[in-house]
Amino acid sequence: MRIATWNVNGIRARLDYVRLWLEERQPDVLGIQELKTTDEQFPFEELREVGYEAITWGQKAWNGVAVLTREPATLRQAGLPTQDGHGARLLAVETGDLCFATVYCPNGKSVDHPDFPAKLAWFDSLLEFVASFYDPGGSVVLCGDFNVVPAPLDSWNEAALSGGIFHTVAERQRIEALLNWGFVDLFRSKNPDVPGYTWWDYRGGAFHRKHGLRIDFVLGTRRVAERTRFVHADRDWRKKVEGLTPSDHCPVYADLD
């Protein structure tokens, strides 16, 4: 079974690119972030043509999350309780034997911006939701764009960026709290020494200069981690493919028994 996450930076702008990736990589379940479209404008039929049904929680121009599945899925939760003001950023479903949730966590802008403490509060609400909604002994996946660099290895320049947005102690403590609840960072568990960047700025040749950050994760409970055999940050799909422009994020996928 292959599960995946991807911030597509606009599903309608990236639709042909996403379809190519789906046909090439054949995931069974994919969490998508940053749809930038409403549910009414989501390309359900175009994705159905390549074998996927979608459950969506969209938002005009900003945010938005979706889960694509090959097998039927059941909606469990749309939106993070108490955090409606941040927009469409969480979607939880059940598919097969998995409880699968995808999130698009707030950016925070900068440590001096009012959005930064709001970001931390959002993460606190996420932990409360997880703790009340799921059992750490079950098969639970939480994936998405977390907008946090969890450790120095995950940043192209920790020395210069430490203490800045994505690199603060407070943000890293929020990721650690999710791991303490019972999640495992599946990529890091299989790739302890590989940076595994998942985002590169469009500007300044960041991708080619390897100036990346690892901010997109697939987290799984211990039961999921025990089934995990391979996890990959799909860097090749941050490049142009057939003349199509990619997202500034690459997909991350995990193969489970």
16 is catalytic: no
Q: Could you give the CA distance from residue 75 to residue 77 in angstroms, rounded to a whole number?
A: 6
**Sheet with 2-7, side-by-side order of all strands:** 53-57, 65-69, 29-33, 2-7, 252-256, 228-233
Q: Could you give the CA distance from residue 99 to residue 154 in angstroms, rounded to a whole number?
A: 27
H or E segment to which residue 57 belongs: strand 53-57
Q: Could you give the CA distance from residue 237 to residue 145 in angstroms, rounded to a whole number?
A: 16
3 pairs with which residues across the strands? 29, 254
Q: Could you give the CA distance from residue 105 to residue 219 in angstroms, rounded to a whole number?
A: 14
110 pairs with which residues across the strands? none
253 is catalytic: no
Give me the catalytic one of 28, 145, 185, 216.
145
Parallel, antiparallel or unpaired: strands 140-145 and 98-104: parallel
The answer to whether 144 and 105 are in contact (CB under 8 A) is yes
Give me the catalytic one of 104, 134, 197, 253.
104
Q: Taking the CA atoms of the chain, what radius of gyration do you get in angstroms? A: 17
Catalytic residues: 104, 145
